[in-house]
Amino acid sequence: MSNLTRASRELFRRPADECYVSLEALARHCRDERRESVDRWHLPQQLRAKPAGDGLCLTTGTDGDFALNDWSFTQLCRLSGVSKETVNRVSPETASRVLLETLPFGQKPMQVMTTGAMVRSIHGVSYSRLWNADLLDVVEQYARDFQPPPAGFNGATGLYHGEQDLFCFLIDPAGWIDIEGEAFAPGFFVWNSEVGRRSLGISTFWFQKVCQNHIVWDAVEVEEFSRKHTGNIQESLLRIQQSIDSLVRKRDARKDGFVETIRKAVGARIGNDAEEASKFLFKQGIPREAVQKAVTRLQVEGKPFTIWSLVDALTQINCQIRFAGDRMDADQKVAQLLALAV
């Protein structure tokens, strides 16, 4: 098992205005952004940076002037082969002259993506964009039962979108199943960038706990796929779909198996009296005090000594344990009793 920290890193680096309260709200924003965006193709010598207030704007051929955000300004500096930090230290007039003299000439057009009056990215012809909205269409269609994890300590939701990229952390809170006597639920991370800041990718897993820092604890069966934005990136949506579908199918199959385990546990009688039930629990490593309380509880309630009734009684008793670590250890021992019903 491993602890996954990717979502925790996102939680600590995202400002409040990049957090979304629901997948629906995030998807709606991404669809609006796609609708308002335009790809403009111009030769590099047709791009001109010029002063605009305290900063720069970019003239794109005959399309007019557009503001630059931090990411597109960074890309413009890279295209010119000059240091962003150096350009930031001089006046807008000097910066425009520096970029004018260093922007390359070429016969291959540049891909300038604008949203409204803002340049969001500048790429060469080899870059292939995948819209966040297209990715979230797949997520909404194939992960219907999944939702964001409980809010982080700072209110972060696990759903993020900024000027550079998108990241989603989703879990199925009702998808708990038994794997070798321990409880796990399915979840996944999915990420993308429309502006070339990061790859497209997904990571699926089964986990036992998510803390308020959004660290995913005790994850198993972690599977990851990622791809750069080149070639026919749209084909990667099929891989994303397959990853989510595989996770859902495995969840459903395991839930069916877990239900069958419970059914067998309900009918699996452990002896005919308290003494035989107590001996059975001692052999499984259950503490003597917990055994005595569980057996007494079943006697008072007049319930039979089955694996299920003993598990249920012990689980309720464990809720009274003060320390979380001790309680977790006790719960794991109780959960292992269910495997004996198979």
pLDDT tens readout for residues 8-50: 999 999 999 999 999 999 999 999 999 999 999 999 999 999 9
Beta strands across the sheet bearing 37-42 = 37-42, 110-115, 118-123, 65-68, 55-60, 47-52
What's the full length of the chain, in residues? 342
Is the pLDDT at 307 greater than 80? The verdict is yes
Report pLDDT for 255. Answer: 74
Task: Please answer whether residues 22 and 237 qualify as being in contact, where contact means their C-beta atoms are separated by less than 8 angstroms.
Answer: no
Contacts of 88 (CB under 8 A, 6+ apart): 95
| Beta-ladder partners of 226 | 201
Would the pTM of this model clear 0.85, i.e. be above it? no
Is the pLDDT at 122 greater than 70? The verdict is yes
Helix 288-301 vs helix 307-318: angle between axes, to the nearest 10 degrees? 120
Task: Please answer whether residues 238 and 218 qualify as being in contact, where contact means their C-beta atoms are separated by less than 8 angstroms.
Answer: no
Nearest partner of 18 among 153, 165, 134, 130, judged by Cα: 165
d(CA 223, CA 216): 14
| Beta-ladder partners of 227 | 200
**Segment among 246-250, 293-297, 308-312 with least mean pLDDT:** 308-312
Q: What's the pLDDT band for 290 if we cut at 50, 70, 90? A: confident
Nearest partner of 160 among 152, 150, 171, 168, judged by Cα: 168
